[in-house]
C-alpha cells in the first residue's frame, strides 16, 4: 500500500495453527471535528505541524521512511494501517495513538476501533491519560490494570508502563498467567533496553523501562522475562524507530516504528 511501511516478522512458537498479529504504535493523532472549539482547532493545527516535522526528523535520523509526503495526515496513515490489519487475528496498539487528550481525538479513535472485527489490546502511552477516558467507550479498556486476549495457544497481555513502572500486583498477575503453560506475548509502551542494543542504549532514560537507578521491581521484571520459557515476545513502541532484539533465547522484543509515519509490524506465528 502506498506510503505504508510493513515490517514482517516470523515467530516460531510451535503452534498447531498459524496466528497473525498486527502491531501499531505512536500515531499521534491531532484531530478536530464539528464539536471542537476555535482554541481546540488552533491547537490541533499547531500540533499537526509539529508532528509533520517530528516524524520526518525521527525517520531521517534513523534512516526510515516517513510515509512519503510528510503532510499526509496521521489519521489517513492510521486508516491505511487498519486496512493492512484486516486479515489479522488480533490487533495490538502500544500507546500514543493520539498526541494529547481531547474529545475530538478520542472520538476519532473510538470511531475507528468500533469498526474492528477482531480482538485488540490497547495499552496506554505517555501521551494518554487513562482517567480521562469515558467509561462507556470500547477504548476505556485502557483503564484496566491488565488486558488479556486469548488466541488459543497464545495469550496476549497488555499493561500500562508509560510511567516506566510496574506494580507488585500487576507483576504477580503476569507471573500467574505464564504458569498456565500457554505461550505469552506482552504488550507495553516503553521497551526494555538490552545489553548490546547500542541504538536503544544511546537514547535518553525517557525511552527506557530499565533505566539507570530504576526501581528494583523493574529489574526483577526484566529478569523474569529473561528466565521465562513461555514468554515469546514483547511488543512495544515509544522509540519512533524500529528496534528488535533478543532478550533471551526464548524471547524477542519488537518495537514498532511510528504509526504517524505509516509504519506497522505484522507477526506471523507458526
- DSSP-derived 3-state class of residue 90: strand
205-221 pLDDT, tens digit per residue, is: 999 999 999 999 999 99
pTM of the model: 0.96
78 is written with which cell numbers?
Answer: 492510521
Q: How many CB atoms are located within 10 Å of the residue 133 CB? A: 18
Q: What is the pLDDT of residue 107?
A: 96
Q: What is the pLDDT of residue 69?
A: 83
CA–CA separation, 144 and 160 (whole Å): 9
Q: What is the pLDDT of residue 1?
A: 81
Q: By the 8 A CB rule, do 171 and 161 touch?
A: no
CA–CA separation, 28 and 74 (whole Å): 7
Q: Quick one: CA torsion of 207, 197, 268, 158, rounded to 10 degrees?
A: -30
Of 14, 4, 24, 20, the closest CA to residue 257 belongs to 24
Helices (H), the chain: 38-61, 74-84, 103-113, 168-178, 198-201, 216-227
Give helix 74-84 / helix 103-113 axis angle, nearest 10°. Answer: 20
CA–CA separation, 93 and 95 (whole Å): 6
Q: What is the pLDDT of residue 7?
A: 98
Q: What is the pLDDT of residue 58?
A: 96
pLDDT in 10s for each residue of the chain, 270 residues:
889 999 999 999 999 999 999 999 999 999 999 999 999 999 999 999 999 999 999 999 999 998 888 889 999 999 999 999 999 999 999 999 999 999 999 999 999 999 999 999 999 999 999 988 988 888 889 999 999 999 999 999 999 999 999 999 999 999 999 888 899 999 999 999 999 999 999 999 999 999 999 999 999 999 999 999 999 999 999 999 999 999 999 999 999 999 999 999 999 999
Give the domain CATH number at 187. 3.60.21.10
Strand 5-11 with 263-269, pairing: parallel
Q: Which residues pair with 121 in a beta bridge?
A: 92
Of 142, 137, 148, the closest CA to residue 112 belongs to 137
> Which residue segment(s) compose the domain that 180 sits in?
5-269
Please state the domain count of the chain.
Answer: 1
Of 181, 162, 184, 170, the closest CA to residue 233 belongs to 184
Amino acid at each position: 500500500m502506498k506510503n505504508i511501511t510493513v515490517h514482517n516478522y516470523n515467530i516460531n512458537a510451535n503452534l498447531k495453527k498459524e496466528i497473525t498479529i498486527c502491531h501499531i504504535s505512536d500515531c499521534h493523532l491531532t484531530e478536530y471535528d464539528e464539536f471542537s472549539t476555535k482554541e481546540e482547532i488552533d491547537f490541533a493545527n499547531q500540533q499537526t505541524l509539529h508532528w509533520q516535522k517530528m516524524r520526518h526528523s525521527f525517520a531521517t535520523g534513523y534512516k526510515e521512511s516517513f510515509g512519503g509526503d510528510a503532510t499526509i495526515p496521521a489519521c489517513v496513515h492510521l486508516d491505511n494501517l487498519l486496512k493492512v490489519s484486516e486479515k489479522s487475528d488480533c490487533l495490538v496498539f502500544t500507546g500514543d495513538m493520539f498526541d494529547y487528550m481531547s474529545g475530538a481525538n478520542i472520538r476519532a479513535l473510538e470511531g475507528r476501533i468500533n469498526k474492528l472485527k477482531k480482538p485488540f489490546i490497547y495499552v496506554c502511552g505517555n501521551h494518554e491519560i487513562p482517567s480521562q477516558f469515558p467509561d462507556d467507550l470500547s477504548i476505556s479498556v485502557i483503564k484496566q490494570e491488565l488486558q488479556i486476549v486469548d488466541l488459543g495457544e497464545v495469550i496476549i497481555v497488555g499493561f500500562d508502563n508509560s510511567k516506566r513502572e510496574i506494580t507488585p500486583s500487576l507483576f504477580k498477575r503476569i507471573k500467574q498467567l505464564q504458569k498456565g503453560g500457554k505461550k505469552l506475548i506482552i504488550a507495553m509502551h516503553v521497551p526494555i533496553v538490552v545489553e548490546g542494543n547500542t541504538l536503544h542504549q544511546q537514547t535518553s532514560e525517557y525511552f527506557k523501562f530499565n533505566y539507570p537507578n530504576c526501581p528494583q521491581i523493574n529489574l526483577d521484571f526484566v529478569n523474569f522475562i529473561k528466565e521465562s520459557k513461555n514468554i515469546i515476545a514483547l511488543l512495544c513502541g515509544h522509540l519512533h524507530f524500529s528496534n528488535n532484539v533478543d532478550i533471551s533465547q526464548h524471547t524477542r522484543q519488537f518495537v514498532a516504528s511510528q504509526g504517524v509515519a505509516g509504519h506497522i509490524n505484522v507477526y506471523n506465528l507458526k
